[in-house]
Amino acid sequence: MTDSLAPPDVPVWLYKLFTGHQYPYVRRQAKFAKKDRGADGEREDPTPEEIRQKFWEIYPRCSAKMLQEVKSGMIVTFVELGNYEAGTFQAFIDQPEVFLAETYGKKKIKVNFYEGENFVCTINFKVGGWTGHEE
């Protein structure tokens, strides 16, 4: 089943990540793009179409940062593995597990998306059969 709002050239998981309620950046940008305010002075929530339009404004400008989760005792830190400018990570979008395994190996990887300096959303992957932090 496909999401009727997701354009055919991005996977449903990516569209939902960017436009879902967990990470409100795209939804909030769509809401604040509305000029009209209701009787209470508040902007109305954006329609699904307005959210889709805002997604297509924001997504093409987004960069991606790959980070490896490293646990030391009770502390979890992240080591930067790679940065990808807008439009340069299509192989990741098409097959995230395959891309991460071939590029970075068996790791727990966090992928952050940014529009300029603004954080948009994040997703975590346990890559290549990762089962735990290596001692």
Which bin fits 114, alpha (ψ -120 to 50), beta or left (φ > 0)? beta
**Do residue 41 and residue 86 come from a single domain?**
no
Estimate the crossing angle of helix 25-32 against helix 48-58, to 10 degrees: 110
**Do residue 43 and residue 67 come from a single domain?**
no
Parent domain of 19 = 12-59
Cβ of 107: how many Cβ atoms within 10 Å? 22
Task: Classify residue 22: in a domain, yes or no.
Answer: yes
**Do residue 40 and residue 93 come from a single domain?**
no
Cβ of 72: how many Cβ atoms within 10 Å? 8
Distance CA 15, CA 92 (A): 14
**Do residue 72 and residue 20 come from a single domain?**
no
Give the pLDDT confidence of 33-88 residue by residue, as tens digits.
987 777 777 888 999 999 999 999 999 999 999 999 998 899 999 999 999 999 99
Domain count, the chain: 2
pTM greater than the 0.95 cutoff: no
**Do residue 70 and residue 48 come from a single domain?**
no
pLDDT at position 5 over 60: no
Task: Classify residue 5: in a domain, yes or no.
Answer: no
Task: Classify residue 45: in a domain, yes or no.
Answer: yes
